[in-house]
Amino acid sequence: MKYMSRFLKRDKTDLLIVVGMVFVWRVCLSVFLFVALRLLPLQQNFLGGGMSNYLSNPSIWAWVNFDGEHYLAIAREGYKPLTYFFFPLYPVIIGFLARLLDLNFLGYAILGLLVSHMTFLLAVVGFWKLIRLSNSRNKSFLAVLLLLFFPTSFYFAAYYTEALFLAIVVWSFYFARVQKWWLASLLATLGTATRLVGIVLLPSLIILYFLDMKNILRTWKWFILLLIPAGLLIYMFFLYRSTGDPFEFLNSVGIFGEQRSSSFILLPQVFYRYFFKVLPNLNNYWPVVFTTLLELFVAILYFVLCFYGWRKLKKGELMFLVGGYLIPTLSGSFSSLPRYVLVLFPGYLLMADLIYKLPRLVRVIVFIILFFCLGIATSLYVRGYWLS
């Protein structure tokens, strides 16, 4: 408690500014929803609460579309066939609290969205504290703005794991940087029960321990990092007991479309597919064009950032960035990559470093473009169009 008290007193004004930025971001998302309800036709196939619920209360149910529907079902009813791809921590938290409070269907939806919003606020505060350890105030604010303005950042407000996982990741790295290895390891363990990419936290924190923090091998603390895979292993044991296959979460990837493969596809082949097969066959349906171009842009951007980060990041952070970027592409597609990279916090710091060097007018133009893309992406999602 004393540690947290000291933590909250430091940079109090800056933390209030960061919280205010999150509030403004959320207001913007509400404006995008308001506009989308009046301008975009509704796509009915993947509405989280069904058509009647959506029409009666879109301010809630518009944020439960697509994967949110699956997380809601798991929270209420537990795992069923074809849902094992979705890792357990987020729906387990919602399900436990909802049963404790004896909530109805709408209550499950509201509770899940509250969990997402609260954990995202924790994530942004943690991100701020983490990057301020080694970056200037102005560059840190720029990195937070890039996080909030990223075209798919609306997923942090949706019934998805992104907010929870980002909070786990940034606080795990923060506690590692301040040598609180028990807390870092505990959070990373929760991370492996939240997303598959959470397993990258194991090598990332080990590298951070030995190379970046200059710890020595004979100290016992590094052994606690070996507990990190426990979250994933517990889920795999559950899958083995339930389905007979501890890797069912990998084997079910193919159900999400022909563009994804349950066997590993290397990154050069994925780029080849997009440049020589996907792009030449695009039609004039603008939501598909926007989504495809966004996928390819993000893939190229983070490919470049992985190389740029070699000299700019701590090696543990670089490991998390590279691993978190490569793992989703192994399915053979950049589909959902604009969402998957949301949690790769080193990317925002690298983008801030690049943009910080640009003239003020160019920076303003960059953020106008990002804001415009965020508005389009949010509008598509809340009206039931596939985005990421």
| pLDDT for position 25 | 98
Closest CA relative to residue 65, chosen from 93, 40, 97, 96: 40
How far is residue 325's CA from residue 315's CA, in Å, rounded to a whole number?
Answer: 15
| pLDDT for position 158 | 98
How far is residue 334's CA from residue 270's CA, in Å, rounded to a whole number?
Answer: 7
| pLDDT for position 95 | 97
**3-class SS of residue 20:** helix
How far is residue 78's CA from residue 86's CA, in Å, rounded to a whole number?
Answer: 11
| Span 227-257, pLDDT tens digits | 999 999 999 999 999 999 999 888 766 545 5
Which amino acid is present at 242? S
Residue carrying the six token digits 């933390």 = 15
**3-class SS of residue 319:** helix
Closest CA relative to residue 329, chosen from 341, 319, 320: 341
Question: Cα(first)–Cα(last) distance of the chain, in Å?
Answer: 40
| pLDDT for position 59 | 95
User: Residue 143: what are its φ and ψ, rounded to 5°?
Assistant: -65, -40
How far is residue 189's CA from residue 166's CA, in Å, rounded to a whole number?
Answer: 13
Distance (Å) of CA 52 to CA 55, 57, 186, 333, 378? 5, 9, 42, 34, 21
| pLDDT for position 249 | 85
Question: What is the overall mean pLDDT for the chain?
Answer: 91
Contacts of 327 (CB under 8 A, 6+ apart): 196, 197, 200
Residue carrying the six token digits 């439960």 = 64
Tens-digit pLDDT string for the chain (388 aa): 455 555 555 568 899 999 999 999 999 999 999 999 999 999 988 888 889 999 999 999 999 999 999 999 999 999 998 899 999 999 999 999 999 999 999 999 999 999 999 999 999 999 999 999 999 999 999 999 999 999 999 999 999 999 999 999 999 999 999 989 999 999 999 999 999 999 999 999 999 988 866 666 556 677 889 999 999 999 999 999 999 999 988 876 654 555 555 567 889 999 999 999 999 999 889 999 999 999 999 999 999 999 999 999 999 999 999 999 999 999 889 999 999 999 999 999 999 999 998 999 999 999 999 999 999 999 999 999 998 8
| pLDDT for position 8 | 52
Residue carrying the six token digits 């490919």 = 303
pTM: 0.94
